[in-house]
Chains A and B, each alone.
Chain A
Amino acid sequence: MLRLTIKNLLDKKIRFALTTLAVVVGVAMVVGVFAMTDSLRSSFSQLAEDISEATPLTVRTSQEVGREIDRDPVPAAVDEVVRSIEGVEDTVPGVAAFNVVITDGAGEAILPTGPPTLGFSWTPLQFFITDGAVPAGSGEFAADSSTAADNDLQIGSTYVISGPIEQVEFELVGIFNFGAPDKHTTLGQTMAAFEIGVAQEFFGLEDRYSSIGVLLDPGTDTAEVQGRIQEAIGRDYEAVTDEVIEEETTDDINEVIDVFNIILLVFAFIIVFVSAFIINNTFQIVVAQRIRELGLLRAIGATGSQVRNSVIFEALLVGLFSTITGLVLGRFLAGGMRWMLNQGGFSLPTGPLELQPRTVVWAVVVGMGVTLLSSIIPARRARTISPIAAIQSDQQLAGASLRRRLVIGGVVTGIGFLLLLVGLFGSLDTSATLSLVGFGAFLVFIGMNTLAPSFARPAALLIGRPIARILGTPGQIARGNAARTPRRTASTAAALMIGLALVGMAGVVGSSLTKSFLNTLDDAVQSDYFIRSDSGGFDPSVGFSEEVAAEIEALPEFDTVVAYRFAIGSMRIEGSNHDVFTADFELVESHMDADIITGSLSDADAAFAIALHEDSAEDLGVVVGDTLDATFPDNGTDTLTVVAVYRDATIFGNWLIDNDTWERHFSRREIGFASATITGFSDDLPEAEQARLQAGAAEAIAPLGQQFPGVKMESRVEFRQSQQDQLNSFLIVITVLLGLSLVIALIGIANTLGLAIFERTREIGLIRAVGMTRWQLALTIFGEAVIVAIFGAILGLSLGVVFGVAVVIAIPDSVINAISVPYLTLLVYLVIAGFAGMLAALLPAFRAGRLNILDAISHE
């Protein structure tokens, strides 16, 4: 008897551990994400403050349209003006550029995945030499310390650096820290610094500066000097204080951190949500199991509320324990995440990890809130237990009737879908869309969880049929077990449903994206070669030097080369800012077919022309021949003639201008992408001839690939493959992150099975006594787990396909124009879910096998 009691206790300990584990992981994730991003934020804002404080005022071009990256430079003459103003002690003019790529000693381009490759003019205010000397003359450069160390760059050696215009050899003369003399801070970007004149020439910014820092005479009033400068330089330029610069820098950094923060938080909350299902389920089962004990309590005089409170009290304990453990673990997790990011190429500041009050509040809200909310329904049920339950052996807990369940579940699911659709198709702003979609999905999951028990029994019997056939008697018993507690089977499966719905949705969106891309490539792209930066990102600021295009065009094997550029929100037409694409109008029609409806690109006077998508043309009410006034980041306005209206937005988006127009208004010279045609190549040629021309082109371009290591030059076949690979690996990362919630769902399956086995102890004893082997018993438990897992997976994947198709339809055709459901992948997920279910059943199966038959038979 004593042994039974101890075992009982042990069972509860494991149950307690499994239940809290689900919450702890959720709380720890939330805490970890906040702690890490808070620490990043405070480190970087400190850095931004330190740097901007060095110059109390900064003079730069005013900008109304476009991003900081496209802010127009200041003419050198402005520096002369500022310098002469009373109260200005000195000026520190500087230039900066993106896409300054250093080639290492082995001839490989140093290209971090994600972070930019930056070039600067040397400034003693931000850069601090740790080794060697300041770059002083032509042919010299300095590199930041982590880039130098990671790539083994040696002072005195010569390295090829690719700039926005051309590729040049420089000698490394110095290595520096960014931000502070003794500590280098970076998000993983590479930095090359040059003497200012050298930098201006190399970046294509002769006689211009990106911005001018202003140092003041001691004792002068900053605001006064600022006013004087502003008056002298006119409205085209502006003098701003260090606070403004600091704020902008911090905002920029925070924008990056926020994205990061939101993505991680979304995953954390998915995990919390799944945990809630598991805790709810556990409490339901526990109340059901304690029904006699609670009935006895009622019989000897406990009130319904007292019984209810005892359940809530247990939830409180679980919540409290989980919150505290989650807070502690979360702090470690934050350190772990930072460490992992630093291993992955970042050099994040390792400032102290503090738990801000906000973080603690969130931990409590998540840990206590989720547990208490999950216990409400079970606690209310416990309240309704009658004293009779103590005497009657098979009293069932009162649950919502089937009819009510169908009504409530149906209504909640319906509202969820409605919100989802409004969010997706209501053309709202991003945050409204996200919250509507998120909340809609949330309601759909809750609704499905309410509906699922009403069809869990037939579903379990159906799914169990082949399993019973394969496993024989153990399978048959497993099938019966899965079907006998439909509510429990349904809610266990629901936890798995969430993860698989998300994974399935990602699968549908990813596969549709890939299909759209391939459709466009096959139908609308005629060029034979594709030239892109090797850094892999889809970032519009990523690019390579114009020289590459010129060199390819010079090869006799190649006919024409078209360069493309891209800027976000950088063209203002009739009051709104638009993303803009560029191409060479004269040639592009033989490279890309945007399905032009009226007009033509090649016939136009390209320098003052614009082509647009039919939707945009309709919105503005313009047709070919009309004119539009467009304002660019340099504040210049051109009157552009509409020369063509096209139907396919997948290639150029909605707005296309010529490179000549770009060069008048943008200081960024590097190109984002290029396409090339092979001389004499045509699809009509015999295949052997086609192959000969392709081989010739490949051979001719190979040396250029060596010469420009950071640039990928791919044939159509290679490009197709590399883009597909890139999409796939991106999809895998997303799927793995979403799949993490499956781990929590598996804990749920293990938990439910463990409790069910405890409940069925006598049955197991009996069945073992009459001759079931341990292995057969394990098969029974595996079988039940697989049935539950497959049920959840089918629910989840079906929802995922519906969600995915809705998202694909909602995404503009310029990004995704095809729907593709990856049936094979979904089938693989289904099989994985089945195996994962077996994995979750391992521990329960092992424990069931270890039950002493005699104890089990006499178990009460």
Chain B
Amino acid sequence: MTLLAPPIGTAPAAAGIAAAAVGVSKIYGHGDTAVHALDEIDASFQSGRFTAIMGPSGSGKSTLMHCLAGLDTVSHGSILVGDTDLSTLSERELTLLRRDRIGFVFQSFNLVPTLTAMENITLPMDLAGRTPDQAWVDEVINTVGLDDRTSHRPNELSGGQQQRVAVSRALASQPEIVFADEPTGNLDSTTGAEILEFMRRAVREMDQTIVMVTHDPNAASYADRVVFLNDGKIVDEMFEPTPDTILDTMKALGN
């Protein structure tokens, strides 16, 4: 893979940056049918912050998140998680990076059906053969309000409870960064609000780092910062957003 972006090397990234994309492009297919899902993206995500990635459907949000999380490879540019350049890692090293340093929440189907809620929460640590920090896990579960549900299997939990388990799993191993792809997309607004509130508290009170993909302005307003994507490019950015300011920006982009 060639790096078209200026070489950053493996020098420690600026303090406080949990993950960064440097000149990242992602092209699907080739020739006439090529789709530029990401086009020369430069973005960094600060530790201890809650960042939302917004944009219309097909703008490249999920693709960006997948690349940042080591689930997908980039066509050009490089991705840094902490000071690790993902392009230098093997498939196995990427897997271990996801397991040990990253947390995930997907839109749906977040849990292994044969494992209990607690087993799902500690799954990445169990896979690593690490003993979970029980005090921390308890605090997460407590905060998310799952205490009496930990021995249930996913099919015995409601959609909202399942998402709470997923968020707990993402936080339980105290990863450097948590990626969430439309985590409230399948939930009703009340349940969704609870999850978002919890994510915000995890950042504020527990000093976690979360990057969330969403197309819902209301959801994005829980974040500290919103990055706007359109046609694979970063087109705008906003701090301390409210639903209204986000909606305005979205409308402006639509024109």
Q: Given A769-B98, A771-B98, A773-B95, verify A472-B129 contact (CB < 8 Å).
A: yes
Nearest CB of chain A from residue B17's CB, rounded to whole Å: 23
Output the residue of A472, A480, A483, A771 with the most chain B CB within 10 A. Answer: A771
Which of A481, A774, A857 is the one whose CB lies under 8 Å from B106?
Answer: A857
> Complex formed: what's the CA distance from A768 to B127 in Å?
10
Whole-angstrom distance from the CB of B169 to the nearest CB of chain A?
A: 7
- Taking the complex as formed, is B114 at the interface, i.e. its CB lies under 8 A from any CB of chain A? yes
- Beyond A769-B71, A770-B123, A853-B71, whether A477 also contacts B114 by CB under 8 A is yes
Interface residues of A, count at CB 8 A: 25
In the complex, the number of residue pairs spanning A and B with C-beta atoms less than 8 Å apart equals: 68
Q: How far is the CA of A763 from the CA of B108 in the complex (A)?
A: 11
Do A763 and B99 have beta carbons less than 8 Å apart? no
Q: Are B112 and A767 in contact (CB under 8 A)?
A: yes
Q: Are A481 and B114 interface neighbours, CB within 8 A?
A: yes
Residue of B with least CB distance to A771? B99
Tell me which residues across on chain B come within 8 A of A776, comparing CB atoms: 127
Q: Does A228 contact B (CB under 8 A)?
A: no
Asked if residues B126 and A472 are in contact (CB atoms below 8 Å), the reply is yes
- A residues within 8 A CB of B92? 773-774
- CB of A766 closer than 8 Å to a CB of B: yes
Is B115 touching A477 in the complex (CB atoms < 8 A)? yes
Q: Is the CB of A771 within 8 A of B112?
A: no
With both beta carbons as reference points, the residue of chain B lying nearest to A760 in the complex is identified as B113
Q: Which residue of A lies closest to B63 (CB)?
A: A854
How distant is the Cα of A380 from the Cα of B66 in the complex, in angstroms? Answer: 44
Which residue from chain B places its CB closest to the CB of A768 in the assembled complex? Answer: B95
Contacts of B188 in A (CB 8 A): none
| Beta-carbon nearest neighbor of B120 in chain A | A770
With both beta carbons as reference points, the residue of chain B lying nearest to A775 in the complex is identified as B92
**Which one, A474, A484, A773, A854, contacts B71 given CB within 8 A?**
A854
Residues on A with beta carbons closer than 8 Å to the beta carbon of B75:
none
A356 within 8 A of B: no
B217 contacts across to A, CB distance below 8 A: none
Whether, in the assembled complex, B100 has its beta carbon less than 8 Å from a beta carbon of chain A, the answer is: yes
Q: Chain B residues near A476 (CB, 8 Å)?
A: 115, 119, 126
Q: Tell me if B244 is interfacial: C-beta within 8 Å of chain A.
A: no
B104–A769 contact, CB under 8 A?
yes
Contacts of A766 in B (CB 8 A): 106, 109-112
Chain A residues whose C-beta falls within 8 Å of the C-beta of B111 in the assembled complex: 766
Determine the distance from Cα of A484 to Cα of B114 in the docked complex, in whole angstroms: 7
Q: From residue B154, how far is it (CB to closest CB) to chain A in Å? A: 11
B residues within 8 A CB of A484? 113-114
A472, B119: Cα distance in complex, Å: 12
Whether A763 touches B113, Cβ cut-off 8 Å, given contacts A768-B95, A770-B104, A772-B95, is yes
B124: interface (CB < 8 Å):
yes
Is residue A473 contacting chain B, with contact meaning CB distance below 8 A?
yes
B127: chain A residues at CB < 8 Å are: 473-474, 770-773, 776
Give CA–CA (A481, B113) in the complex, Å: 9
Interface centre among B71, B95, B99 (most CB of A within 10 A): B95
Residue of A nearest to B98 (CB): A771
Q: Would you call B128 and A771 a contact (CB within 8 A)?
A: yes
Kindly list chain A residues whose C-beta atoms are within 8 Å of the C-beta of B169.
770
Residues of B close to A472: CB separation below 8 A: 126, 129
Residues of B within 8 A of A767 (CB): 112, 123
Within 8 A of A (CB), among B53-71: 66, 71
Inter-chain contact A477/B98, CB cutoff 8 Å: no
- A854 and B72 within 8 A (CB): yes
**Inter-chain contacts of B99 with A (CB < 8 A):** 770-772
| Interface of B (DSSP majority class) | helix
A712, CB-defined interface residue at 8 Å: no
**Would you call B91 an interface residue if the criterion is a C-beta within 8 Å of the partner chain's C-beta atoms?**
yes
A762 beta carbon closer than 8 Å to chain B: yes
Interface residues of A in 732-769 (CB under 8 A from B): 762-763, 766-769
Given A768-B95, A771-B124, A854-B72, decide whether A480 and B106 contact each other with a Cβ distance below 8 A.
Answer: no
CA–CA, A472 and B98, complex, Å: 19
A857 to B106 Cα, complex, angstroms:
9
| B126 nearest CB across to chain A (Å) | 4
Q: Does B96 contact A (CB under 8 A)?
A: yes
Chain B residues contacting A474 (CB-CB under 8 Å) are 127
Are A771's CB and B66's CB within 8 A?
no
Question: Chain B 59-94, CB within 8 Å of chain A: the 1/0 string?
Answer: 000000010000110000000000000000001100
Per-residue contact bits, chain A 474-510, to B (CB 8 Å; 1 contact, 0 not): 1011001101100000000000000000000000000
Smallest Cβ-Cβ distance to B91: which chain A residue: A774
Q: Are A480 and B104 closer than 8 Å at their CB atoms? A: no
Render A443-480 as a binary contact track against B, CB cut-off 8 A, 1 for contact.
Answer: 00000000000000000000000000000111011001
Contacts of B96 in A (CB 8 A): 771, 773
Q: Which of B119-177 contact A (CB under 8 A)?
A: 119, 123-124, 126-129, 155, 169
**A481, A762, A767 interface centre (most CB from chain B within 10 Å):** A767
Contacts of B71 in A (CB 8 A): 769, 853-854
CA distance A767 to B128 in the complex (A): 13
Given A477-B112, A766-B110, A854-B72: A771 in contact with B129 (beta carbons within 8 A):
no
CB distance from A325 to the nearest CB of B (A): 38
* Docked complex: B226-248 residues within 8 A CB-CB of A: none
Taking CB atoms, residues of chain A closer than 8 Å to B100 are: 771
Q: Residue on B with the closest CB to A849?
A: B91
> Which residues does chain A contribute within 8 Å of B98, judged by CB atoms?
769-771
Residues A473 and B126 in contact, CB atoms below 8 Å apart? yes
Closest beta carbon of chain A to B34's beta carbon, Å = 15
Nearest residue in B to A473 (C-beta to C-beta)? B126
Q: Nearest-CB distance from B230 to chain A (Å)? A: 22
Q: What residues of B have a CB within 8 angstroms of the CB of A481 in the complex?
A: 114
Nearest-neighbor residue (CB-CB) of A482 within chain B: B114
Interface centre among A476, A769, A857 (most CB of B within 10 A): A769
Report B64 CB to chain A, min CB distance, Å.
Answer: 13
Q: How far is the CB of A109 from chain B (nearest CB, A)?
A: 64
Contacts of B123 in A (CB 8 A): 473, 767, 770
- Smallest CB-CB separation from A478: which chain B residue? B114
0/1 per residue, A770-798, Cβ < 8 Å to B? 11111010000000000000000000000
A-B contact pairs, 8 of them (CB 8 A): A476-B126, A480-B115, A484-B114, A767-B112, A771-B96, A771-B98, A771-B128, A853-B71
19 more A-B contacts (CB under 8 A) besides A766-B106, A854-B71?
Answer: A394-B155, A472-B126, A476-B119, A484-B114, A762-B109, A766-B109, A769-B71, A770-B99, A771-B95, A771-B99, A771-B124, A773-B95, A773-B127, A774-B91, A774-B92, A774-B95, A776-B127, A853-B71, A854-B66
* B residues whose Cβ falls under 8 Å from a Cβ of A: 66, 71-72, 91-92, 95-96, 98-100, 104, 106, 109-115, 119, 123-124, 126-129, 155, 169
The 6 A-B residue pairs whose C-beta atoms are closest, nearest first, are: A771-B99, A480-B114, A473-B126, A771-B124, A771-B98, A773-B95
